[in-house]
């Protein structure tokens, strides 16, 4: 037998359907139907039952409902942290993406289950899926998990990943046109007469690799030779990226422009450059990526490649619901645009 395990934490009512049924003088099924708005139950009775439930603050228990219906009306939003276990959810891009996704999901009367996971332990994704806590999954960033995603995607359809489309991929992605973004950035810099253009950021994750590819294509088109000495690997966080850029500056490699993987890295570069006595954009012109609020209000305002997260989030959620309905929705590329401001 179950004892309420009431350790002192008080419980409000804990009504169940049976209680409402008793009050209304009907059976449980009738209450269930009435609350579901089933038109089999005549409107007056339905209203009366709803009324009783409402005055007593009764709401259907979602655990029970989910178990019975095998659906949770919940979408899992997953933030995979590739490397650092203790990493915070603090990156403005992630945060904005979470906000946009939450908006879109709420609009469809689904709940959002936020999952911060260490995406290095094998089986992390399978575990989330099998726990049956969500009807569909949205993963923000494919990180280094291409293989894991591919494996899972074969058997689990209701899943959409934010990230780059890459050859041999069997999962559904929505992502910005990273290559075009890289090209646009370099074209802008080249148009301002810059020839020694550095690339700031990681190149391992697929999105980063594509921005890097765009950077190289941009150089080609501008007739500028690629110089590996101008590729500066940096972490994603502002502080660490700043240090990496400072270290690069200390090496004394000549350069007059930089294309950063993200606005955060670009702004970090602002700091390092200023500390080294170099001005933006005169000494070094800088183009970022994302167009987070930080970019618009930076000093100087940052020229950047805008990712349309509103469209991106909407596309992710649209595709996810189509997949949840059994459709086989395709991957989608979101166009990017250059936002010219003062830094380049």
Partner DNA sequence: CTGAAAGCGCTAACAC
Partner DNA sequence: GTGTTAGCGCTTTCAG
How deeply is 219 buried, as exposed, middle or buried, from its count of CB atoms within 10 A (0-12, 13-18, 19+)? buried
Window 102-141: contact mask with a second copy (x via CB under 8 A): xx--x----xxxxxx------x--xx-xxxxx--------
Q: Of 23, 48, 50, 60, which one interacts with DNA (CB under 7 A)?
A: 60
> What whole-number distance in Å separates Cα of residue 246 and Cα of residue 229?
15
The one of DNA, a second copy, none whose footprint includes residue 231, by CB under 5 to 8 A per kind, is: none
Using the rule CB under 8 A, is 330 a contact of a second copy? no
Instruction: Supply the DSSP string of 322-336, one letter for each residue.
Output: HHHTT--PPPEEE-E
The one of DNA, a second copy, none whose footprint includes residue 35, by CB under 5 to 8 A per kind, is: DNA
If you count them, how many residues does the chain have? 344
According to DSSP, residue 143 is labeled T
Q: How far is the CB of 30 from DNA (least distance, A)?
A: 4
Measured from the CB atom, is 115 or 210 closer to a second copy? 115
Q: How far is the CB of 195 from a second copy (least distance, A)?
A: 28
Q: How far is the CB of 162 from a second copy (least distance, A)?
A: 17
Measured from the CB atom, is 192 or 322 closer to a second copy? 322
Closest alpha carbon to 283 in 258, 261, 247, 305: 258
Neighbour count for residue 333 (Cβ, 10 Å): 16
Segment contacting a second copy by CB under 8 A, of 155-163, 166-174, 211-219, 250-258 = 155-163
According to DSSP, residue 41 is labeled S
Measured from the CB atom, is 4 or 223 closer to a second copy? 4
Residues of span 61-100 touching DNA by CB under 7 A: 61, 64-65, 67-70
Measured from the CB atom, is 60 or 166 closer to a second copy? 60
Measured CA distances, 275 to 15, 246, 272 (Å)? 63, 8, 5
The one of a second copy, DNA, none whose footprint includes residue 126, by CB under 5 to 8 A per kind, is: a second copy
Using the rule CB under 8 A, is 70 a contact of a second copy? yes
Within the chain, how many helices (H) and strands (E) appear?
13, 12
Closest alpha carbon to 82 in 141, 157, 168: 141
Neighbour count for residue 301 (Cβ, 10 Å): 14
Window 12-51: contact mask with DNA (x via CB under 7 A): --x-xxx-------xxxxx-xx-xx---xxx--x------
Q: What is the dihedral of CA 336, 161, 101, 334, to 10 degrees?
A: 20
The one of DNA, a second copy, none whose footprint includes residue 99, by CB under 5 to 8 A per kind, is: a second copy
């Amino acid at each position: 037998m179950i004892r309420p395990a009431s350790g002192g934490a008080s419980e409000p009512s804990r009504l169940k359907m049976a209680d409402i049924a008793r009050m209304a003088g009907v059976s449980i099924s009738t209450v269930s139907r009435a609350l579901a708005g089933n038109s089999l139950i005549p409107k007056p009775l339905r209203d009366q039952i709803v009324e009783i439930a409402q005055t007593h603050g009764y709401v259907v228990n979602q655990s029970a409902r989910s178990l019975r219906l095998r659906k949770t009306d919940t979408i899992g939003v997953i933030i995979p942290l590739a490397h650092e276990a203790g990493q915070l959810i603090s990156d403005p891009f992630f945060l904005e993406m979470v906000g946009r996704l939450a908006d879109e999901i709420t609009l469809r009367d689904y709940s959002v289950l936020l999952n911060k996971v260490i995406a290095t332990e094998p089986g992390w994704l399978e575990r989330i899926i099998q726990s049956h806590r969500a009807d569909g999954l949205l993963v923000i960033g494919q990180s280094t998990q291409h293989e894991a995603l591919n494996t899972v995607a074969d058997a689990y359809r209701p899943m959409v990943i934010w990230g780059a489309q890459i050859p041999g991929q069997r999962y559904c992605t929505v992502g910005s046109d990273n290559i075009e973004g890289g090209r646009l950035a370099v074209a802008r810099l080249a148009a301002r007469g810059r020839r020694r253009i550095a690339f700031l950021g990681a190149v391992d994750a697929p999105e980063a690799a594509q921005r890097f590819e765009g950077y190289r294509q941009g150089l080609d088109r501008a007739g500028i030779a690629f110089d590996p000495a101008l590729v500066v690997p940096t972490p994603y966080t502002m502080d660490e990226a700043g240090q990496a850029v400072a270290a690069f500056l200390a090496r004394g490699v000549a350069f007059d422009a930089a294309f950063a993987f993200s606005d955060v890295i670009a702004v970090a570069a602002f700091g390092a450059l200023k500390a080294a006595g170099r001005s933006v954009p005169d000494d070094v012109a800088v183009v970022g990526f994302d167009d987070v609020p930080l970019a618009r209000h930076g000093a100087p305002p940052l020229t950047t490649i805008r990712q349309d997260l509103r469209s991106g989030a909407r596309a992710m959620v649209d595709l996810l619901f189509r997949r949840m309905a059994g459709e086989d929705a395709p991957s989608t590329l979101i166009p990017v645009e250059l936002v010219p401001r003062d830094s380049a």
